[in-house]
Every structure is written in C-alpha cells, then in structure tokens.
C-alpha cells in the first residue's frame, strides 16, 4: 500500500492520482478504526463489535503483488464488505463516496476523472479535484507522490 | 518498444526466411504472401517481446508472484518499471483467506526494502509482461492493416530469390516437401485436358482422372500444380484463389498472342500539355493503354464505345475503368471467365489477358449483334463469380447515315457519310462503319510499313473528318476513333498534339478545326 508523504507543492490536476494515505490516520485525531467499523457490512460489524486490535493480515496488492500487513478489520473491509453491491450505492457525501471507491478498489490510485467515472458522476471530475486538492485533507485522501 | 518506422523499414532477414520456412513446414499448407505476412508479424513481435524481456531483466530472473525465491537471489520487477532488487529475507505469509504463500523481503538499489508475495498461484502478474497491444505498432491486426500489403510484397520478393521455395497460383511452399511428378503423369494430364477441349479443369479433377497418388491431397495438388506450371504445355488460367488448368496449344490465338490491331509501340509525348478536359475525356474513354492513376472499385456498370481495333479483334480494354469487373489472378497471365449476354442469358468463354491488357472472346458476339466501331457496350458484374454480363443496346435494324471509312485506290482511308444498317446505339462522335475490314487491313500494313508519323495521321484524319460537318469541327474523341481505324494509339499522344500544335485550333468543348494556313 502506498506510504504517506508530505503534500507536494505541485498543484494536482485532473490527471493526478489520489489514494488513501493510511499514515495520515495515524497522525491525526480521527479514529481510523471507528470510521472503518462504520463501513463494515452488518455481519462483520457484529464480528468486530469491540473493534479491538486484530492480528495483521498480509494483503497482496492486486497490481504489484507487493505485500502490506494491514489490520484484520481493514482487510475484511477491503476484501469483503467493500465488494458488496450496496457499499458503493450508499447515499453518502461525496468525500465518503470517494473513500469507498478507493477502498473497494484496493486503494489503487485514481485520478479525479477516474473517480468521477466510478461514481457515475462524470461531470463532477472538477468538483472532485477542487475538493481533494484543497488545503484540507479529507479522510486521508491525498495525491500520490513519486 | 518498437520504433515508429520499424514495420516500414523492415527488411526480410535470413532469420525471417527460416521462420517462414518452419511455419510452412509446420502447417504443411501452401500460403499466400498475405498469410505469410501475418506469420512474419507474429514471429517478429514474439522476437521483440523476448528481446524486451532480455533487455529489461539484464539477465536477472523476472519476478512472478507464483515463483519461489531464495535469499541472495536478484530479481527484476516488471510492475515497478523493471526495478532490480535482491531478496534479503523469506517468511511465511499470514492470510487466512488465501492458500498458504510466502513473503519475500527485497532490497532495492535506493536502499528501500519492500515485501512481495511468493508461491502465490493466483495473481494477474503471473502472466509474463507483453508488448502493449494498444500500441498500433504492437497489435498484429493493426500492423497488418497498415503494413500488410508492403510486407507481403517484401516477402514475395525475398522468397522469389530463394530456391528453397516454390510458388504456384500466388501461394508459397517449401520445395523440399514437394512430391516428384513423373513425366508420365504430365502426358496423362495433357490427354485429359485435350479430351475436355483444352480445359479449364481444376487440379482435383485432373488428379482424379489420371489416378495421381494423393495420400495427402493438399500436397499432391500442390506438387502436381507445380509440375504443370513448370511445363510449357500447360497454362494456369484460374482467377485469384482458384487453380484451373488449360492446354496452351488449345487456347485461342488471340489469347496466346496480342492481336495485331491491339499492338502499340509507346510514343513519347508531353502529358503536362493535356488540359483538364482532355484528361477527363481520356479517363472516360477507358483505353487500356492510357496511364492508370487508380483502379475503380467494382462499379455497378461500365459503358464503353467500341473502337475499331477492339471491334476487329473481338476484345475490350482491360483498363482502370473496366478492370474491377473482371477476375484477376496472383500470377496467371491469362484468366478464363464466362461472358453472359445480358439480354439472352447465353454464356460463352472469355479470357482476361493481363499482359496485353485486354479481354477476349467477343468476335462472334459483335458479329451477332451487328455492332459497329463506335457502338455502345455495357458491362456489369455477373451473378456468379467468374461471370461478366455484357449488353449491346440493340434495336430493330434501320438504315442510317453513318460516318464510314473506305479505302481508296492509293490504299489511303477515305471518310464519307454513307447509309449503313444500324442495329445498336452508338456514340455519335466516335462511330465509324467499316464496310470492308480486309481492305482496311491493307491500310494498317501500309501505315506500319511507312512508319507514318502520328502527327501526319492526326492532320490527315482531322482533314478527312472535317469534310463531313458543315462547320469543319471535329471532336477529340472522334479524332481518337479515326486514328485508331488505321493504327493503334491511346488518346494521350493524340490529345498532346491537339494541345501543342498551332494548326489545331480549339473551338470549344474539345472540338477542333484545322488551320491549313499554319501548316
């Protein structure tokens, strides 16, 4: 999984890929596990009822075969809950919808245009760019920096 | 990565020839240059792929998730821009949802260490990296669509110089695989064709009748085809994609040799002098000796005005205007086809004579339809492959005043308006009745013997034709038809004279008059 870095000074464009920087969650006050628990399907919300730490699982990147040890709950979210049809169809704010698209696709970096396509909002690529390129980091969604 | 001009610049190498040879050995089927071009593109792309992998891996193993690796091993990672790294640790993976696999820790040149799956059977990266099929230079279909024809020509040229290959009816095959054909079989084949009026017969039928051994029918047919082709007694007369044999000695004389009235010794002339109207008329006339800029696609129908040489030889031009209507061939110089009378449905044999650029077999039909030089003939595609419909716009015979050519006592042509029996529509500008063709033959011979310059002929023809109209104006098409009543000549040289000599006065719409005072 891509590592978190400091935000680049280069202004993102419609062709800049974005991903979830999980290191952002560790350095900010937002409780990653609490947020993640809300995204689980009903069955797994029960399984992780106490949302305590779980044994890390070796997640294999579908494109590079790179292995990232991820939290067990995050792994279940990415490989099971996010693959359920209702996960992407939920009526949620734009930033949450973007987060869900990235999670459902194994956090594969996507440009605003690709995200708009996945969200069935092809006309909103610029809105997505304006939102993600702002000064504030929403849910750790940041440009991928080489 | 294949460079932009890779396919354009490609030269056939000995490795290519060997690959094509092996391909033919494996398929055991004779192939056209187009099919060989497809094989060559596949072979070249595979070779480039292997070259790419060798270059990128620099000799190191390419990382695949399904592979098993040891500490100290160097790997290259296609998905990471072919970065190279060394395995520094191996551990068992923890993932209850996947079959057991390992995790290798790899140290890269920049000092970073990253972990990768190993021994993992299910992963897209297990397919080796390929040249991108999205790139038109890497996509076989797109390469063939753009460069296929040029590649086929290069293959054809390369194989023609190589004695290990033989060609028949446009298909290539390794000589080493051919069966030996005893001369006795050729004698039998000759007898069979003789019994069938000379042909045409397909190879399979000859094989059946002469009892040629055919355990492998493809190989037997190709071997016999090759033996027949190499013998001067036989002529392959099938259209492209079809092999048909004919006994050469039984082909009509006008097919074996270009009829005397169609023979032309090319003349130098200034094409730049031709006006746009002249070039348009030249295209419309459809003379087989005119330069071809492009061959039209199969037209719905083509209308032609006969000129005397074709009327006399029982032929029609094989020109840009008509070519698409007739069957063609990869190699065969003469192609047999069937004329179909569009009015009666009667069928009779026709020949495409590619070297002479004419189609043959109409002498009796012209006579039957009572056509004149200048009569209009319409050609249409036949209902079946190998058929061409021909139609004369006939009507009840009537006597009409028609421009006619007679031969004077001095063996010179004389033009006059005479009443002739007319049975079909004609082009008013080009019609010339010839009451005595044999007498006109003497004029042809005399013109050829004296080597009368074309310019002299054009002047005398214009003078003769001008007498037949009150204004003394003659159309360029009429002049072309008149010149061709005494010698074979395409429109270009005649029009060039009209355009450049001061004694030919253009009076509009390609009508000319002769200024005697300027000669």
- The CATH number that applies at residue B186 is 1.10.10
CB nearest B114 (choices: A58, A66, A79): A66
A8 within some domain: no
Give long-range contacts, CB 8 A cutoff, 24+ apart: B394-401.
B394/B343, B394/B369, B394/B370, B394/B423, B394/B424, B395/B423, B395/B424, B395/B425, B396/B423, B397/B370, B397/B421, B397/B422, B397/B423, B398/B422
Q: Which of B385, B199, B378 is nearest to B301 (CA)?
A: B378
Taking only the tens place, the pLDDT of each residue in B111-153 is: 889 999 999 998 888 876 565 666 666 777 888 888 888 888 8
Q: What is the pLDDT of residue B384?
A: 76
B392/A72: higher pLDDT: B392
B88 within some domain: yes
**Alpha helices, H only, B173-286:** 183-195, 203-210, 217-230, 253-256, 276-285
Question: What's the pTM?
Answer: 0.57
pLDDT band at A146; cut points 50, 70, 90:
low
| One domain, residues B368 and B426 | no
A79–B98: do the CB atoms touch at under 8 Å?
no
Q: What is the spatial order of strands in the sheet that B113-118 belongs to? A: B61-62, B74-77, B83-92, B102-108, B113-118
Domain housing B237: 178-251
Cis peptide before B253 (omega within 30 of 0): no
Query: CA torsion A9→A11→A12→A14, rounded to 10°?
Result: -170
- Measured distance CA(B226)–CA(B185) in Å, rounded: 13
Q: What is the pLDDT of residue B134?
A: 65
How much of chain A exceeds pLDDT 90, in percent?
Answer: 3
Average pLDDT of chain A to the nearest whole number: 80
Q: Which residues pair with B353 in a beta bridge?
A: B334, B358
CB B237 within 8 A of CB B334: yes
B203 within some domain: yes
Helix (H), strand (E) at residue B422? strand B413-424
CA distance B1 to chain A (A): 21
Residues 85 through 104 of chain B touching chain A, CB cutoff 8 Å: 93-98, 103
A25 within some domain: yes
Domain count within chain A:
1
B259 within some domain: no
CA-CA-CA-CA torsion sign (B369, B372, B375, B379): positive
CA distance A57 to chain B (A): 5
Taking only the tens place, the pLDDT of each residue in B372-392 is: 999 999 999 888 777 889 999
Q: What is the pLDDT of residue B24?
A: 85
B125–A58: do the CB atoms touch at under 8 Å?
no
- Measured distance CA(B444)–CA(B308) in Å, rounded: 12
Consecutive 10-residue averages of pLDDT for chain B (519 residues): 74 87 84 89 84 68 90 86 88 89 92 92 78 68 84 87 81 81 83 85 85 77 83 80 83 88 89 89 89 66 91 91 76 83 90 90 91 91 84 89 86 86 88 88 85 88 88 91 92 91 88 82
What are the chain A neighbours of B65 within 8 Å (beta carbons)? 60, 65
For β-strands B334-341 and B387-392, DSSP reports them as parallel
Tokens of B223: 């071997």
CB nearest B94 (choices: A57, A62, A64): A57
- Measured distance CA(A80)–CA(A78) in Å, rounded: 6
Give the nearest chain B residue to A80 (CA atoms). Answer: B97
Q: Which residues pair with B389 in a beta bridge?
A: B340, B380
| One domain, residues B331 and B294 | yes
Tokens of B84: 């190279």
Domain housing A138: 18-48+55-143
Chain A within 8 Å of B114 (Cβ-Cβ)? yes
CA distance B123 to chain A (A): 7
Average pLDDT of chain B to the nearest whole number: 85
Q: What is the DSSP-derived secondary structure letter of residue A9? A: S
Q: What is the pLDDT of residue A4?
A: 40
A66–B116: do the CB atoms touch at under 8 Å?
yes
Q: Which of A79, A66, A59 is nearest to B79 (CA)?
A: A66
Among B363, B395, B427, identify where a domain stops.
B395
- State the complex-level ipTM: 0.73
For β-strands A67-70 and A141-143, DSSP reports them as unpaired
Q: What is the pLDDT of residue B92?
A: 93
pLDDT at A87 over 50: yes
Domain count within chain B:
5
Residues 180 through 219 of chain B touching chain A, CB cutoff 8 Å: none
A58–B103: do the CB atoms touch at under 8 Å?
yes
Beta strand segments in chain A, E: 18-20, 57-60, 67-70, 141-143
A5 within some domain: no
* Cβ neighbours, 10 Å, residue A139: 19
Q: What is the pLDDT of residue A6?
A: 46
- Measured distance CA(A13)–CA(A112) in Å, rounded: 8
Q: What is the pLDDT of residue B118?
A: 95
| One domain, residues B467 and B485 | yes
* Cβ neighbours, 10 Å, residue B346: 11
> What value does the mean pLDDT take over residues A1-21?
68
CB-based contacts of B56, cutoff 8 Å, min separation 6 = B62, B76, B78, B82
pLDDT at A79 over 70: yes
For β-strands B315-317 and B358-360, DSSP reports them as antiparallel
B262 within some domain: no
Among B205, B220, B251, identify where a domain stops.
B251
* Tokens 């050729």 found at: B186
SS (H, E, C) B270-328: CHHHCCHHHHHHHHHHCCCCCCCCCCCCCCCCEEEECCHHHHHHCEEECCCCCHHHCCC
């Amino acid at each position: 999984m891509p590592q978190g870095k400091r935000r680049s000074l280069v202004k993102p464009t419609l062709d800049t890929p974005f991903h979830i920087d999980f290191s952002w969650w560790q350095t900010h006050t937002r409780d990653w596990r609490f947020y993640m628990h809300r995204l689980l399907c009903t069955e797994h919300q029960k399984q992780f009822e106490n949302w305590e730490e779980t044994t890390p699982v070796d997640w294999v990147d579908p494109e590079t075969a790179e292995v990232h040890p991820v939290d067990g709950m995050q792994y279940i979210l990415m490989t099971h809950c996010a693959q359920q049809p209702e996960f992407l169809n939920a009526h949620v704010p734009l930033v949450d919808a973007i987060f869900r698209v990235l999670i459902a696709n194994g956090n594969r970096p996507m440009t605003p245009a690709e995200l708009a396509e996945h969200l069935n909002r092809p006309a909103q690529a610029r809105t997505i760019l304006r939102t993600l390129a702002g000064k504030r980091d929403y849910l750790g969604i940041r440009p991928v920096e080489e | 990565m294949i460079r932009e001009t890779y396919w354009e610049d490609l030269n056939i190498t000995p490795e290519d020839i060997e690959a094509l040879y092996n391909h033919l050995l494996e398929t055991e089927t004779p192939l056209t240059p187009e099919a060989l071009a497809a094989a060559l593109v596949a072979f070249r792309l595979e070779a480039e792929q292997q070259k790419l992998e060798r270059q990128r891996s620099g000799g190191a193993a390419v990382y695949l998730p399904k592979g098993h690796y040891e500490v100290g091993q160097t790997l290259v990672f296609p998905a990471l821009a072919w970065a190279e790294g060394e395995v520094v640790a191996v551990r068992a993976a923890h993932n209850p949802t996947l079959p057991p696999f390992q995790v290798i820790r790899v140290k890269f040149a920049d000092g970073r260490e990253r972990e990768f799956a190993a021994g993992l059977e299910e992963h897209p990266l297990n397919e080796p990296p390929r040249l991108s099929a999205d790139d038109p230079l890497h996509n076989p279909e797109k390469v063939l669509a753009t460069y296929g024809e040029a590649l086929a020509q290069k293959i054809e040229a390369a194989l023609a110089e190589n004695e290990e290959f033989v060609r028949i009816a446009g298909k290539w095959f390794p000589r080493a695989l051919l069966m030996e054909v005893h001369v006795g079989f050729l004698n039998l084949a000759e007898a069979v064709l003789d019994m069938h009026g000379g042909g045409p017969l397909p190879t399979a039928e000859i094989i059946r009748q002469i009892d040629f051994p055919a355990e492998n029918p493809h190989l037997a047919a190709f071997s016999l085809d090759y033996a027949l082709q190499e013998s001067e007694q036989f002529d392959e007369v099938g259209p492209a994609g079809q092999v048909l044999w004919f006994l050469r000695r039984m082909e009509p004389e006008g097919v074996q040799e270009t009829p005397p009235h169609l023979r032309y010794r090319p003349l130098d002339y200034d094409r730049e002098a031709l006006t746009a109207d002249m070039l348009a008329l030249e295209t419309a006339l459809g003379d087989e000796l005119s330069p071809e800029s492009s061959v039209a696609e199969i037209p719905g129908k083509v209308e032609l005005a006969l000129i005397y040489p074709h009327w006399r030889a029982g032929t029609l031009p094989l020109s840009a205007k008509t070519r698409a209507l007739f069957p063609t061939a990869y190699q065969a110089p003469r192609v047999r086809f069937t004329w179909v009378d569009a009015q009666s449905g009667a069928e009779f044999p026709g020949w495409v004579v590619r070297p002479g650029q004419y189609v043959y077999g109409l002498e009796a039909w012209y006579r039957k339809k009572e056509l004149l030089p200048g009569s209009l003939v319409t050609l249409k595609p036949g209902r079946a492959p190998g058929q061409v419909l021909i139609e004369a716009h006939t009507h009840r015979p009537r006597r009409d005043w028609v421009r006619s050519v007679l031969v004077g006592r001095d063996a010179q042509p004389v033009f006059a308006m005479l009443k002739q029996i007319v049975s079909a529509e004609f082009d008013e500008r080009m019609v010339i009745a010839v009451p005595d063709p044999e007498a006109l033959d003497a004029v042809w011979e005399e013109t050829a013997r004296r080597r009368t310059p074309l310019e002299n002929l054009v002047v005398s023809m214009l003078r003769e034709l001008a007498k037949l109209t009150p204004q003394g104006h003659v159309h360029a098409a009429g002049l072309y038809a008149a010149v061709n009543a005494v010698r074979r000549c395409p429109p270009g040289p005649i029009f060039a004279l009209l355009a450049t000599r001061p004694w030919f006065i253009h009076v509009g719409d390609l009508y000319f008059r002769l200024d005697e005072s300027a000669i």
